[in-house]
Structure 1
Amino acid sequence: MELDPRFAQTLVDIVAAELNQNVNITDNHGVIIASFSKERISHIHEAAAKMLLSGPIREFSVTDKEERQLKGVRAGFNVPIMVNDCCVGVIGVSGEPHTAAPYTRLAARFVEAALESNARQEKLVRALLEKEELQSTLLNKVISVQEEERKKISRELHDETSQALTSIIVGLRVLSEHVHSENERMKILEMRDLVVTTLEAVHHLAVQLRPALLDDLGLVAAAQKYIENYSRQYNIFVDLAVVNLSRQRFLPEIEITLYRILQEALTNIAKHAKASKVKVTLKKHKGRLMLIVKDSGIGFNAKRISGTASDNCLGIHGMHERVALLSGDFTIHSSEGEGTTIAVEIPIRQHKKTESGLGQAH
């Protein structure tokens, strides 16, 4: 540990004002780093330097005779500043040594306590930062694992389950053509229709889990398709504006984050907002990728979600955490009767090539 000169000077000013005496602090080499007499700063305190070089760390006094013989020294009493069994400097108080001694010892304890307090605070801050970093790492890992699992299940539903259901549909159609009873044929066709409905549901589930378009063509294409299906399903008009974007690709974590936020925001609108129309904006501006979702619904008191973890707020907190992992900004503005606006900005740190293979700067 080393004494910071500005911190030492602050302590000197406090102690000198209390004792009404000149006070100075040296570093662990005997160089004055703080003094009530500012002109002494950076001078060598010869008495302190000799004590520090002698080996044993101890208190010492300076007489009037030594003041005349040594440079940078005034009569008084000096006490080493000890932190964690290490000498980090010396504090001295001028005056008659026997009078200055108790004040110097008290001042040294004050300086040591302040240093130890700062050290504990810095340790706590480091521990907190390490904890937050670990939490972010774990959260990022959890999200990555979830997305990989979603992708795996989506592909299995699309490739295996969908194909099996399609084979059943074809087989039922063929079977219906080989029965002679009209009643039996109708039952087979009803069964086929049920399988068709199931196939559509499986396809919808696969897209919800992980749209193939997102991996193949990117965020814009996936967003357009999702909004198209969403408008058809919920009968809510969604106006999508894409600004300064086309087939450009971004980091997978950026694309999936914005897609999931769009998905969550539109789902919340369908469930709670009672909105008739929604405006979605996707744009790139000054090295940042932006998503804005604004609805015409009933709105809510946005202040109520701050610091809460109710079921109604988990989706919003999840969006906020996803954006924070990418060093982005997440804001939500809403008031009762005025609709809701969700805005996300994520810095674009890196880009991929476009589908044509030509890289474009982002």
Structure 2
Amino acid sequence: MQQQRLKLQKQELELKNQSQSMDFNSRLVYLNEYIHELERDWICEYFNQDVIKNVSKLTERLELMSQETEKGSELSHMINESASLLLKQAKMIKTVVGHLKPDHISELGLIPALKGFFHRNNYSNTISITVEGSQPMNRFHPDLEVTLHRITTGLVIHTMQRKRATRISIFVEQHEKQVKLHYTDNDPEFTALDIAHVPSEEKDPAILRIEILLQMIYAEIQYDIQYIKGLKLVVAVDTSKY
């Protein structure tokens, strides 16, 4: 975990140093290339931590199956367990792919894409998630929509990993030259005070990744440290730059 934090801090420093002197268009191109490289690291992290571990378990169980072929009930039980592992891995891979390249976002826009993402991955089975937006809602720049999607799903996954919240509320507010994304969960043991003003070396790697995405779209994040019933924040983006 500490090694991962140090790597993210180094990447963030490189990002600031290399992009500080660029004009807006050059910076946008650079950041797009940078974030694609970072995403490959995210995929490696998922596979190293979960996929490889579970594939190893699956291999061991398949070996046991070959040795216990005459025990019908035991074999049946192991087959069912193996099938469950396979389904779990298929779902996780689908989630990673959906996070990196949201389905239908280019056709439908941010709000429908988020609703579809949470529905397809059965998030509603474990936590209540509401996604709403101000009306009428005009389309954003494609890069902005995709990055806001990644930020939002990253926040949701971070909330779900803590396994204490039962409700998440997401509201996208659109103004003439600004978009605001309001995010709230009801985990009373993790509030904005656990993120705001915390040194980078002590932050969760998931939060550090989200902060890098925020830099990509020139966004600001405002933490509501007065809110004690969970995590409450606002991501504000100046859309006049797009």
Q: Report the TM-score when normalising by structure 1.
A: 0.42
Counterpart CA distance in 2 for 1:315 and 1:201 is 17
Question: What is the RMSD of the two structures over their aligned residues, measured on CA atoms?
Answer: 4.1
Match of 1:165 in 2: none
Q: Partner residue of 1:132? A: 20
Q: Among 81, 87, 100, which residue is 1:209 paired with?
A: 100
Q: Tell me which of 220, 227, 247 is aligned to 2:111.
A: 220
Structure 1 gap ranges (5+): 1-127, 154-182, 352-362
Pairing 1:249–2:128 present: no
**Contact 1:211-1:222 at 8 Å conserved across structures:** yes
Checking the alignment, whether the CA contact within 8 Å between 1:297 and 1:338 is kept in structure 2 is yes
| CA offsets 1:266-307 (integer angstroms, 9 cap, x no match) | 122122372221211012122212211011221336276425
2:35 corresponds to which residue?
Answer: 143
Q: Deviations over 1:42-63 (max 9, x none)?
A: xxxxxxxxxxxxxxxxxxxxxx
| Contact 2:220–2:237 (8 Å) recurs in 1 | yes
Q: Which amino acid aligns with 2:95?
A: H
* 8 Å contact kept, 2:133–2:171: yes
Checking the alignment, whether the CA contact within 8 Å between 2:192 and 2:225 is kept in structure 1 is: yes
Deviation at 1:241, TM superposition (A): 1.6
SS of 1:212's equivalent in the other structure is coil
The match for 1:291 is 181
What is the correspondence of 1:6-17 to structure 2 with a 5 Å cutoff?
Answer: none
Q: Which residue does the alignment assign to 2:219?
A: 328
**Candidates 120, 123, 126, aligned match of 1:231:** 123
Q: CA deviation at 1:262?
A: 0.6
Q: Which residue in the other structure is 1:282 paired with?
A: 172
Structure having the higher Rg: 1
Distance 1:340 1:201, change over 3 A: closer
CA contact under 8 A between 1:327 and 1:346: conserved in structure 2? yes
Paired residues, what number?
191
3-state SS of paired residue (2:146): helix
Counterpart Cα distance in 2 of 1:190 and 1:133: 57
Match of 2:49 in 1: none
Instruction: State the distance in 2 between where 1:244 and 1:143 align.
Output: 31
**Residue pair 1:290, 1:344 contacting (<8 A) in 2 also:** yes
Q: Deviations over 1:194-245 (max 9, x none)?
A: 6566544443343233222234433122111223336335x21122222125
Q: Does the aligned pair in 2 maintain the 1:236–1:276 contact within 8 Å?
A: yes
Alignment of 1:147-166 (within 5 A): none
Closer, same or farther in 2 for the Cα pair 1:339/1:207, shift >3 Å? same
Give 3-state SS (helix, strand or coil) of 2:21's partner. helix
Q: In structure 2, what is the Cα distance between the partners aligned to 1:347 and 1:256?
A: 15
In structure 2, the gaps of 5 or more residues are 1-15, 44-71
The change in CA–CA distance for 1:193 and 1:302 in structure 2 (over 3 A counts) is: closer
CA contact (8 A) 2:192 2:223 kept: no
Contact 1:331–1:344 at 8 Å: present in 2 too? yes
Alpha-carbon separation, structure 1, partners of 2:212 and 2:90: 34
What are the equivalent positions in structure 2 for 1:37-186 lying under 5 Å apart? 132-133=20-21, 137=27, 139-146=31-38
TM-fit CA distance, 1:343: 0.5
Q: Name the SS of the counterpart of 1:310 in structure 2.
A: helix
Distance in 1, Cα, partners of 2:178 & 2:142: 15
Highest RCO, 1 vs 2 (Cα 8 Å, sep ≥ 6): 2
Q: Residue 143 of structure 1 aligns to which amino acid in structure 2?
A: I
> Where is the helix percentage greater, Structure 1 or Structure 2?
2
For residues 94-153 of structure 1, give each alpha carbon's deviation from its aligned partner in whole angstroms, at most 9, with x where no partner exists: xxxxxxxxxxxxxxxxxxxxxxxxxxxxxxxxxx9987335x945553114445x69xx9
Q: Are 2:209 and 1:318 aligned? A: yes
The one of 188, 193, 196 equivalent to 1:302 is 193
Moved more, 337-346 or 192-201: 192-201
1:114 matched residue in structure 2: none
Aligned to 1:98: none
CA spacing shift, 1:307–1:276, aligned 2, 3 Å: closer
Matched with 1:261 is 151
Identity rate, percent: 15
